[in-house]
């Protein structure tokens, strides 16, 4: 099983990530090291090129999207990162390999508990804190954040997240309708915010006061 999962991760990195343009070696190494099958139900599908249902109307993103969102944050290891939408904890585990500290917030209590358990069981919780609550307004208690990653689609960029983003800082978030979004990357630098679109995407809706009601 260990040899098979290691091979599956290697194939995932080569075929789904590197060949599609993911070039950040730290991201590729993190994705190659973390046992994705320990975070999702239905382990045979853990390395498929698609999102996986994890219950409560939520999903774990396809590996490429997890890698792309991590890569556009351009983490170097010293950052404090906020993730909105912990899900099963996998993306937070990846971010935890790339940054000094990760705070991941999840609105669904059962998923917050699942993420916390998964991270603890895999030993990947040393620098990752799971918070249960409405992440559409960020988590001001520990702000500001050098990077923010939002794993759910918003109708607009929540102002609270921009307020909690450090300067300089980077924010990645899917923005659009319920059905289709653009993965937007916002870079705050010198009081100015520049935005570009990394790709088209489709995420579950962001729930909460500053998301979809």
**Catalytic annotation, residues:** 61
Q: Is 202 left (phi over 0), alpha (psi -120 to 50) or beta?
A: beta
Tokens of 60: 């774990």
**Which is it for the CA torsion 83, 205, 87, 16, positive or negative?**
negative
- Cα distances (Å, whole numbers) of residue 182 to 50, 122, 153, 173: 18, 32, 9, 8
Count of C-beta atoms within a 10 Å radius of residue 143 = 17
Element counts in the chain: helices (H) and strands (E): 6, 9
């Amino acid at each position: 099983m260990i040899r098979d999962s290691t091979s599956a991760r290697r194939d995932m990195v080569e075929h789904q990530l590197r060949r599609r343009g993911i070039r950040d070696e730290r991201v590729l190494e993190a994705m190659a090291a973390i046992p994705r099958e320990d975070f999702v139900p239905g382990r045979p599908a853990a390395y498929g090129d698609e999102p996986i249902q994890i219950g409560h109307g939520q999903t774990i993103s396809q590996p490429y999207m997890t890698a792309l969102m991590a890569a556009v944050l351009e983490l170097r290891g010293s950052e404090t990162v906020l993730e909105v939408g912990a899900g099963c904890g996998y993306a937070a585990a990846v971010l935890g390999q790339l940054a000094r500290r990760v705070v991941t917030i999840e609105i669904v209590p059962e998923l917050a508990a699942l993420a916390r358990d998964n991270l603890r069981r895999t030993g990947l919780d040393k620098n990752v804190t799971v918070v249960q609550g409405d992440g559409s307004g960020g988590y001001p208690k520990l702000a500001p954040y050098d990077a923010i990653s939002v794993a759910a689609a918003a109708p607009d960029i929540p102002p609270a997240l921009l307020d909690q983003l450090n300067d300089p800082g980077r924010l990645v978030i899917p923005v659009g309708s319920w059905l289709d979004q653009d993965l937007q990357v916002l870079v705050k630098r010198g009081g100015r915010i520049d935005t570009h679109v990394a790709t088209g995407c489709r995420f579950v809706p962001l729930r909460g006061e500053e998301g979809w009601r």
